[in-house]
Amino acid sequence: AQSVTQLDSQVPVFEEAPVELRCNYSSSVSVYLFWYVQYPNQGLQLLLKYLSGSTLVKGINGFEAEFNKSQTSFHLRKPSVHISDTAEYFCAVSVSRSNTGKLIFGQGTTLQVKP
């Protein structure tokens, strides 16, 4: 079975500072990896995804993530955060390339950007 662990439930950071949100996964088969963001009272929005190819993936809003197969990690990074990045972030895996909506999610990390 697959599982996703987000190592930090909350990450407080000051505006314009860099941030890393950590994600580790467990799977005996190939996985496809995603980061979603959820703003208050809204649905989930896809930030970025890794399906194959380059292990460094760039997404929307200046976010990027690196797939590390040996460490089974897919950490999300941003070099300089903004107040508007305050939200909950979810790491997720799919085991099907053709069914990338059937996802196993981590518990989420709340990013709190302070002025």
* Residues within the interface to another protein (CB under 8 A): 36, 41-46, 49, 51, 90, 92, 97-108
* Closer residue to another protein, CB minimum distance, 74 or 90: 90
Least distance in angstroms from the C-beta of 9 to another protein: 11
* Closer residue to another protein, CB minimum distance, 43 or 115: 43
Distances (CA, A) of 5 to 8, 34, 108: 9, 13, 9
* 13 and 112 Cβ atoms separated by less than 8 Å: yes
Least distance in angstroms from the C-beta of 14 to another protein: 28
Q: What's the CA gap between 98 and 92, in Å, rounded?
A: 15
Least distance in angstroms from the C-beta of 12 to another protein: 20
* 60 and 75 Cβ atoms separated by less than 8 Å: no
